[in-house]
Amino acid sequence: MAGQTLYDKLWAQHKVLEEPDGRTLLYIDRHLLHEVTSPQAFSGLRNAGRKVWRTDANIATADHNVPTTDRRAGIADPTSRLQVETLDQNCADFGIEEFGMMDKRQGIVHVIAPEQGLTLPGMTVVCGDSHTATHGALGALAFGIGTTEVEHVLATQCLWARKSKSMRIWVDGELPPGVGAKDLVLAIIGRIGTAGGTGYAIEFAGPAVRNLSVEGRMTLCNMAIEAGARSGMVAVDDRTVEYLRDRPFAPSSALWERAVSVWKELHSDDDAVFDREVHLSGDEIAPQVTWGTSPEMVTAIEGSVPDPGNAPDAVRRQAWENALVYMDLAPGVPITEIAVDRVFIGSCTNARIEDLREAARIVRGRRKADSVRSVLVVPGSGLVKAQAEEEGLDEIFRLAGFEWREPGCSMCLAMNADRLESGERCAATSNRNFEGRQGAGGRTHLVSPAMAAAAAIAGHFVDVRTWK
Amino acid sequence: MEAFTAIESVLVPLDRANVDTDAIIPKQFLKTISRQGLGQYLFYDWRYLEQGGQLLPNPDFVLNQEPYRNGRILLGRENFGCGSSREHAPWALADYGIRAIVAPSFADIFANNCVQNGILLVSLAEAEIGGLFEKTAAVKGFSVRIDLAEQVLRTADGQLYRFGVDPSVKFKLLHGLDDIQVTLQHQEDIKAYEAGRRFLMPWLFHWHET
Ligand code: SF4
C-alpha cells in the first residue's frame, strides 16, 4: 500500500463518521470568527434555540471593518459599528473569547491565530473566510467556510465534507535574494491558473519551501485559495516547532514534549502518491507583478503587459481585453514603466513582522516619490505593531512619508475608510486584484512587500533584485 | 430553505470567466447582519451606473435588459464564484430570484454556499456551454427547464443535457433540509470522537490551563 500524504493523515484523524457515499463528518478543532461572516450564524442559533457545542474551540476578533486610525473615537460608520458591536454581543452571549477592537492581541484573524498559538499542527481550522488556508503553513488542515457552515460548526463542532484530490507543488532550488514567498505563490498561480487547484488540497513542498520561514509559508498557503484550492499546507519541521514554542496558547512543559512528538509525524510519507504533481524551480522565480484583474494575470518584473492577441484561447482573450480596459494598460508596456498612485502594505498575506522588516529594509533612509499620494502600512496585529515599533520600523516608515496605522484588513478589501478612489492605481501586498476590490474603480497590482516599498520610493515598479 | 424541484426560465447569459464574489456582491454590502434584502445589490458594479450622483441601471448589463430581468437561471463561464467565502453572494443571488447556475465549473466554497441556500449548480462540458451561449445569442429569450429529480436540462428547442449532482446535495435540495438537524442525530458519535481526542491530544482542549 502506498504511503499517506499529509492531507490523508489530517483527514483520517478528524473523521467522526463516513457515509457510504463518501460524505464525511469532520471534527473541527479550532474555529475562528470575525464580524462579517458570523452575525447571521449567531442569529440562526438563537432562532433555533441552539447552544455552542464547545466554546473553548472558538476565538473571535474584529478585523474587516475596524478603523486603522485612532480607535478611541470608536467606529464612525454606523453599519460597520453595528457589525463589530454585534460580534461583541454575540461573543458575550455565547461565552466565546474575543480579542476586541481595543485589545492589543486584536488583528487580522489569520495573523493572530498562529501568533497566539491558537493554530497548532494537526488541527482542523476553519473560519468564515477564504484565506483560512493560511493556517495550513503549520501542518494543519485549514479551509474557509460560508456562514451556514459557521453556524453548523458552532452548533456541532463538525462539518460535512468530501475529501478533495491531492496536489503537491514541489519547488526545487532556492529563491534568489530579493524574491520571497509572495513572488513564489504568484508565480505558481501564473502557472496553474486561478482554477488550477479547484477540487484539490495543495501541499507545498521541496527545498525552496523548506527554506522559507514559517511566516513565508503562511504567505504561500494564504494564496492557495487564489489558485482555486480551499486548503494549502506545509509539513511540520523544526522551524514549525520553534515557531510555536512559548506561544500563549501553545502547550507547555510535559504536554509540549508530547505534542511535539505527535507533530513530527505530520508530513507526507516518502512513497505517498498525489493526484497531481507540479514542479517549479525556485532559482528561476523573479519578482512578480500582476497586470490584470485576476491573480493569474501576472508576470515577472522584467516582463511587459501582454497582448490579448496572444491569449491561449478565446475566453481568455476576452478576459485579458476586459482587464486591460479596466486597468487602463496597453499591450507591450514594460511593467517597470507602470506608475502607481498609492501603495498598500498589509493584509493577511503580507502584514507579519518579517514582511514589515522586508519593506523597511528597502525604505530605510529614503522618501516616497512625490507622485505617490499615500502609502499605508497596516500591521497584521497589535502585537506585530508593537514589535515593529520596538525595532523602530515605524520610524523608518514615517520618515519616508508612509502612514503607520492600527491593525486590520484595511485596504485589502476597503470595507473600512481605507480605499482607492476610482481610477487610482495601487501597488498592494494583499491577495486579490479583482475589479473594485480596493475601492470602486480602483486598480490593484499585487506584489511582495519589498516590491511595494520600492514602488512607493520610485513611483513606479522597479526590480528589487537590483535595489541598492 | 425552499425545496428545489423543477424550474423553467429564460437563460441569462453572463459571458465572463472567473466571475468573482466581489463582482456578485461588493464588500460595501457585507456589513449587513441579516440574510435578506441583498438581491437589489447583486452584481452592483456591473448593474448600475453612477451619473451626477444618481444611480441608474446600466443598459448594457444583461439583467437590465428584457427578457432577462426576471430570469431565474444564469449561464456562466468557467470558475464561477471564485474569490471569497462570503455567503452574501448566494444570498444575493437567491434574494434576486436566481435558482440555478449553469457553467463549466464553480469555485468550491461558493458551490457549498449555494447548496446551503437552495441554488442548484449545473456543470456541463465547455463545448455544451459554448453551444448554449450561441443559442442565447441567436434566439432572444431562449429558455430552458431544469429538472433536478431527473437531472436533465431541456432547452426550448428540444435538446437535452444530462448533468451530474452529488446524491446528498440532490436530497438536500429536493427536500430543503437543514444540515444541523441531520448532524445532531449523530451527537453520540461526535461525543465519542471528542472524548478520544481529548485523551490522545489534551493540548487541543486544555488551552486555558497549559
Ligand atoms: S486581510 Fe484581506 S484577505 Fe485577509 S482576511 Fe482581511 S479582507 Fe480577507
| Better-scored residue on pLDDT, B1 or A309 | A309
Domains of chain B: 6-177 (3.20.19.10), 178-210 (no CATH)
Select from A33, A131, A377 the residue to mutate for testing ligand 1; criterion: most ligand atoms less than 8 Å from CB. Answer: A131
A and B: number of Cβ contacts within 8 A: 188
Determine if residue A262 is left, alpha or beta; phi over 0 gives left, psi from -120 to 50 gives alpha, anything else beta. Answer: alpha
Q: Note the residue count of chain A.
A: 468
Determine if residue B22 is left, alpha or beta; phi over 0 gives left, psi from -120 to 50 gives alpha, anything else beta. Answer: alpha
Q: pLDDT (tens digit, 9 = 90+) per residue, A456-465?
A: 999 999 999 9
Q: pLDDT (tens digit, 9 = 90+) per residue, A168-204?
A: 999 999 999 999 999 999 999 999 999 999 999 999 9
Instruction: Tell me the average pLDDT across B45-70.
Output: 93
Do B194 and A157 count as a contact with CB atoms less than 8 A apart? yes
Grid cell 429529480 is found at B149
Do B84 and A48 count as a contact with CB atoms less than 8 A apart? no
Radius of gyration of chain B (CA): 20
Q: pLDDT (tens digit, 9 = 90+) per residue, B136-191?
A: 999 999 999 999 999 999 999 999 999 999 998 999 899 888 889 889 999 999 99
Where does A266-403 have alpha helices with state H?
Answer: 314-327, 353-363, 382-390, 393-399
Ligand 1 atom having least distance to the Cα of B84 = 8
Ligand 1 center–CA A64 separation, angstroms: 7
CB distance from A417 to chain B under 8 Å? no
From the list A32, A342, A25, A21, the residue with the least C-alpha distance to A158 is A25
Instruction: Tell me the average pLDDT across A12-18.
Output: 98
Determine if residue A440 is left, alpha or beta; phi over 0 gives left, psi from -120 to 50 gives alpha, anything else beta. Answer: beta
Q: Binning pLDDT at 50, 70 and 90, where does residue B209 land? A: very low
Do A37 and B184 count as a contact with CB atoms less than 8 A apart? no
- In this predicted structure, what is the pLDDT of residue A131? 97
Q: pLDDT (tens digit, 9 = 90+) per residue, A194-219?
A: 999 999 999 999 999 999 999 999 99
Do A415 and B113 count as a contact with CB atoms less than 8 A apart? no
Q: pLDDT (tens digit, 9 = 90+) per residue, A300-356?
A: 999 999 999 999 999 899 999 999 999 999 999 999 999 999 999 999 999 999 999
Proportion of chain A above pLDDT 70, given as a percent: 100
Grid cell 528597502 is found at A362
On chain B, the residues whose CB falls within 8 A of the CB of A128 are 85, 87
On chain A, the residues whose CB falls within 8 A of the CB of B116 are 146, 148-149
Report the side by side order of strands in the sheet with A276-281. Answer: A231-233, A200-205, A165-172, A276-281
Q: Binning pLDDT at 50, 70 and 90, where does residue B51 land? A: confident
Mean pLDDT of chain B: 93
Do A148 and B34 count as a contact with CB atoms less than 8 A apart? no
Minimal CA separation from B42 to chain A, in Å: 14
**DSSP-assigned letters across all residues of A26-53:** EE-SEEEE-TTTSHHHHHHHHHHT---S
From the list B20, B74, B109, the residue with the least C-alpha distance to A292 is B20
A100-to-A35, A193, B11 alpha-carbon distances in Å? 11, 37, 46
Minimal CA separation from B29 to chain A, in Å: 9
Q: pLDDT (tens digit, 9 = 90+) per residue, A33-57?
A: 999 999 999 999 998 899 999 999 9
- Measure the N-to-C terminal CA separation of chain A; round to a whole number of Å: 54
| CB nearest A414 (choices: B27, B84, B107) | B27
3-state secondary structure of B7: strand
- In this predicted structure, what is the pLDDT of residue B210? 37
CB distance from A69 to chain B under 8 Å? no
Where does A200-252 have alpha helices with state H?
Answer: 207-210, 214-222, 238-244
Written as one letter, the residue type at B155 is T
- In this predicted structure, what is the pLDDT of residue A2? 82
- In this predicted structure, what is the pLDDT of residue A260? 98
Written as one letter, the residue type at A163 is K
Ligand 1 center–CA A36 separation, angstroms: 11
Predicted structure pTM score: 0.92
Ligand 1 center–CA A134 separation, angstroms: 11
Q: pLDDT (tens digit, 9 = 90+) per residue, A258-306?
A: 999 999 999 999 999 999 999 999 999 999 999 999 999 999 999 999 9
Q: Are B25 and B92 in contact (CB under 8 A)?
A: yes
Instruction: Tell me the average pLDDT across B77-94.
Output: 94
Mean pLDDT of chain A: 96
Do A79 and B31 count as a contact with CB atoms less than 8 A apart? yes
